[in-house]
A and B are shown apart, each in its own frame.
Chain A
């Protein structure tokens, strides 16, 4: 019983999860089962889920944005990244670029960016996350977007789960942060200021305000790690810009649609980002991202 409980408690700190403050109390194992059960019930695991690079890229495409290769981090930069921090951030960045290229059917870029992501994963010691068979599968299905997205999703999950399972949650968090920033960077660069009001892409950028606290919580779980502490300073700076945007939402009303077996969460939202705040946000994102890709 002690082994089961201990394995549970050790494993519970992984997989992107964190423990609520009650975790220390749960580490002792009283003899009485009712006490054990009470402790277990108090020990909540918390997951902070950022949009994945694939989801970020999909949001950009669904907003009707065009593809622009010049916005991606050039694959020629791969040899610049030698620290765990730079490799983790750029694994997220290259995976986002790869997803972006995949959704716009940029066949040669797909292979190039998968190789760049592979180099980052190899550098981080992530075994078998992306191997030659992954590249071969991409080459064989280069015109099949569905298969390519499946491969990108699988390789990202392999990398992420490997890091979580091998006691590197800080590195796993940095991968997610890199991907999130790349999606935000590409989005902000693609906004046409002559078409600002009612622009769908601007709406998706405003939505990222909803994720900034999740991002900060994710990094805060690894406070004390110097690389994470540096990132927290940068992300908190970005948050001060997001704080200038207001999002007000009406009460959410779930409505079940029998035909599609889907629940629609109905609500109205009002937002207010001025072009000036947008420019400040875009500049802040570009500045932070430039420190990641240099």
Chain B
């Protein structure tokens, strides 16, 4: 009986936390990551999630030869640095922001359209005794027509 009483409370608590976390993530994406696109037009898609240090995410997207792109990948301040790599369909690494001091943005264009894979990883503070940090990571794409 006690379990029956507690279960709905836990469910509500989880839903409440989830909704709040999502709203926080959306606000972060709009306020912090969107401006990183600068003069590029945001495509309107929304990709964001709460990640814990050490955690990875992958994104698959087709990029077109007519466009110039900027990808912006932003993590909340409480997180360690966010590393991202861009790979082609043969898993060759085309770019890593590790080589650019973990830059949040990367500008690129393509000679021919390609499906690319983005691998995003929240690095670790390397403090095993501490609670792992968690926070919102947002991935946004901006484009403009190639000149």
Identify the A interface with B (CB < 8 A): 1, 3-8, 10-12, 14-17, 33-34, 36-37, 40-41, 43-55, 58-59, 61-63, 95, 149-150, 152-157, 160-161, 164-166, 176, 200, 203-204, 207-208, 210-211, 214, 217, 249, 251-252, 254, 260-269
Contact = CB atoms under 8 A, between A and B. Distances in A.
A10 B55 contact: no
Contact of B43 (A52, A214, A249): A52
Contacts, number: 227
Contacts of B56: 41, 44-45
Nearest to A36: B132
Contacts of B111: 264-268
Please classify how large the interface on chain B is, using the bins under 10, 10 to 19, 20 to 34, 35 or more. 35 or more
Contact of B45 (A157, A166, A261): A157
B71 to A, nearest CB: 11
Contact of B50 (A7, A61, A161, A207): A7
A55 B143 contact: yes
B110 interface: yes
Contacts of B130: 33
B118 to A, nearest CB: 8
A262 B68 contact: yes
Contacts of A164: 22, 46
Contact of B49 (A14, A152, A157, A269): A14
A62 B112 contact: no
Contacts of A204: 64, 66
**Best-surrounded residue of A55, A249, A261 (most CB of chain B within 10 A):** A55
Contacts of B49: 11-12, 14-15, 17, 45
Contacts of B30: 157
Interface in B35-49: 41-49
Nearest to B131: A1
Given A6-B17, A161-B26, A254-B94, 18 more contacts: A4-B131, A5-B52, A6-B14, A16-B46, A34-B128, A37-B54, A40-B52, A48-B60, A49-B47, A54-B44, A55-B43, A157-B44, A160-B44, A204-B66, A207-B62, A210-B113, A249-B114, A263-B94
A62 B26 contact: no
A252 B60 contact: no
B46 A160 contact: yes
B115 A165 contact: no
B115 A210 contact: yes
B102 to A, nearest CB: 16
A260 B146 CA distance: 12
A15 B22 CA distance: 8
Nearest to B143: A55
B94 A265 contact: yes
B72 interface: no
A47 B58 contact: yes
